């Protein structure tokens, strides 16, 4: 069965970086795009960007351009999302979600809480 | 960016009620719309895609309709497990954007 398993919760200081992983199993890793979506406490869902695990190409939301980097490791079927220059407003649950290119997300990771606090 | 406006932002309903949630896009999105259900502390769950196609395993009391800029999620007979927050999402163009959510609460 398809599973997306994310890394554990993180606490970071303002200005630091965080790298969240998402390990995929149960399907051909390179056949589906992976998106990252975040959700601040009590708030809605915000799309951050997409990575094509096949070639590694990425597209990021303009809001995060210059601060976010999405990468993948095909040997371990894992995608990564690194967010730098963290500020308190980046406190959120970060999700990876699988889709066919741009599209609907039929599988989600369990979420990773990133807390930014001094 | 395409703005997605959901209404209402919250509603109270009873078990067995028919519930309708609306999502309006700031421009036409050619049925490139999905609906998700989210319960507290959990990841969203896909309900429908392509505006009206039911995801495998989702009960048939959920249905979707619409075209152009206006879309609707209907729950024909609300069940206890349906109390949750619902989000629409457009995937017509990047950045993919979500509605602000509709919280369905018990009356």
pLDDT in tens, B68-107: 999 999 999 999 999 999 999 999 999 999 999 999 998 8
Residue segments in chain A with a per-residue pLDDT below the cut of 50: none
Q: Do B46 and A62 lie within an 8 Å CB cutoff?
A: no
Which residues, numbered 22 to 51 in chain B, qualify as contacts with chain A under a Cβ-Cβ cut-off of 8 Å?
34, 36, 43-46, 49-50
pLDDT for the residue A81: 98
- Of all helices (H) and strands (E), which one includes residue A83? strand A78-83
Distance from the Cα of B17 to chain A's closest Cα (Å) equals 25
Q: How many CA atoms lie within 13 A of A26 on its CB side?
A: 9
Please state whether the peptide bond connecting residue B8 to the residue before it is cis, i.e. omega within 30 degrees of 0. Answer: yes
Q: Shortest CB distance from B95 goes to which of A44, A47, A103? A: A47
Q: Distance, in angstroms, between B9 CA and closest chain A CA?
A: 11
Q: Which residue has the tokens 């992983």?
A: A21
* pLDDT computed for residue B107 by the predictor: 86
Chain B residues within an 8 Å CB radius of A58: none
| Best A2, A22, A44 residue to mutate vs chain B (most B CBs within 10 Å) | A44
Helix (H, G, I), strand (E, B) or coil at B58: coil
Q: Is B71 on the interface with A (CB under 8 A)?
A: no
pLDDT at position A102? 67
Average predicted confidence (pLDDT) for chain B:
97
pLDDT at B20: 98
Eight-class DSSP state of A45: -
B89–chain A Cβ distance below 8 A for any pair? yes
Predicted local distance difference test score (pLDDT) of residue A101: 67
Phi, psi of B3 (to 5 degrees): -90, 135
The pLDDT value given to residue B16: 96
Three-class SS state of A3:
strand
């Amino acid at each position: 069965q398809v599973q997306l398993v994310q890394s554990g919760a993180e606490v970071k200081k303002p200005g630091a970086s965080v790298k969240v992983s998402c390990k995929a199993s149960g399907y051909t890793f390179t056949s589906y795009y992976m998106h990252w979506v975040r959700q601040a406490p009590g708030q809605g869902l915000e799309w951050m960007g997409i990575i094509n695990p096949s070639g590694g190409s990425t597209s990021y939301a303009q809001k995060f351009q210059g601060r976010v980097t999405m990468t993948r490791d095909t040997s371990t079927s894992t995608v990564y999302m690194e967010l730098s220059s963290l500020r308190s407003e980046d406190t959120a649950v970060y999700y990876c979600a699988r889709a066919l290119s741009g599209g609907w997300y039929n599988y989600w990771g369990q979420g990773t809480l990133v807390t930014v606090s001094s | 960016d395409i703005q997605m406006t959901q209404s209402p932002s919250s509603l109270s309903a009873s078990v067995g009620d028919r519930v309708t949630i609306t999502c309006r896009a700031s421009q036409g999105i050619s049925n490139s719309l999905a609906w998700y259900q989210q319960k507290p502390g959990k990841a969203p769950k896909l309900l429908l895609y392509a505006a009206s196609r039911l995801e495998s395993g989702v009960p048939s009391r959920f249905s979707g309709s619409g075209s152009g800029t206006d879309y609707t999620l209907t729950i024909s007979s609300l069940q206890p497990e349906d109390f949750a927050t619902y989000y629409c999402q457009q995937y017509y163009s990047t950045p993919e954007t979500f509605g602000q959510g509709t919280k369905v609460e018990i009356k």
